[in-house]
Amino acid sequence: MSPSNLCEPKKNELHYQIGHFLAEDHFQQLSRLMNDHSVAKGSHLFWEGEPAEHLFFVKKGKIRITKSTDDGKDLILFYLQEGDFFGEFASYAPVQYSYDAVAVQNSEIGVIQQKELEQLISESGEFALQFIKWMSLMQRTTESKFRDLILYGKKGALASTLIRLTNSYGEPVEDGIYIRLKLSNSDLANMIGTSRESVNRMLAAFKEEGIIGYEKGHIVVRELSSLKRVVRCPDCPAEICRI
């Protein structure tokens, strides 16, 4: 097995990003509102609890979104990459960020003021409609993640996470699907709200059953159908079933 360009994730071809929903001229309008910022690896774009006055577009790099739990643990909600748009979308009252955002690579970010986006939405009904459709897809993605965690326990949550990783960072190879995003067992544990030891045991069981394998520290999913059986996979569109 010799997948190419192992160091960087393959450009995502799924149609879930804001650029897939906006017409070209509308995306250019959005782009003109962006102020470019360089964010060093390990730096926070914002912290949970800060006033949510800006939205963010990933031009280059990777951003991790985490949520603090009541017992002080960090739950990883998303790994965002080039083309992703995120932030808290204000309603009738000022809001605060409900999660942290930290760069896991040196990244280039387009920053938009909340009030400027609101003005753009108010001026163009067509832009607003396209934006709402994209927001609806984001909501369905989040709901599907929590559904798997709640309904199928830790094993189901891990199986679901591996399935989503194949959609977001998977590359077909001779013996399965190579996950290009390298994650530690602690990262996986934080993605499903459990301990590293529990993830160690579940991954060891999956490996023993031939469901997964490893290649230079990266996970290779060898029996995707077995993971889907764990969560009784409804075969959601790949645009929803992603990290």
Q: What is the dihedral of CA 160, 165, 168, 174, to 10 degrees?
A: -120
pLDDT of residue 4: 38
From residue 69, how far is each of 15, 48, 66, 75 by CA, in Å? 31, 11, 10, 7
CB-CB neighbours of 105 under 10 Å: 15
- Look at residue 5 in the predicted model and tell me its pLDDT: 36
What one-character DSSP code corresponds to residue 17?
Answer: S
* DSSP code string of 183-232: --HHHHHHHHTS-HHHHHHHHHHHHHTTSEEEETTEEEES-HHHHHHHTT
**pLDDT given at position 142:** 84
**Mean pLDDT in runs of 10 for the chain (243 residues)?**
38 69 94 97 95 95 89 84 89 83 96 94 94 90 80 89 92 94 92 92 96 95 94 78 82
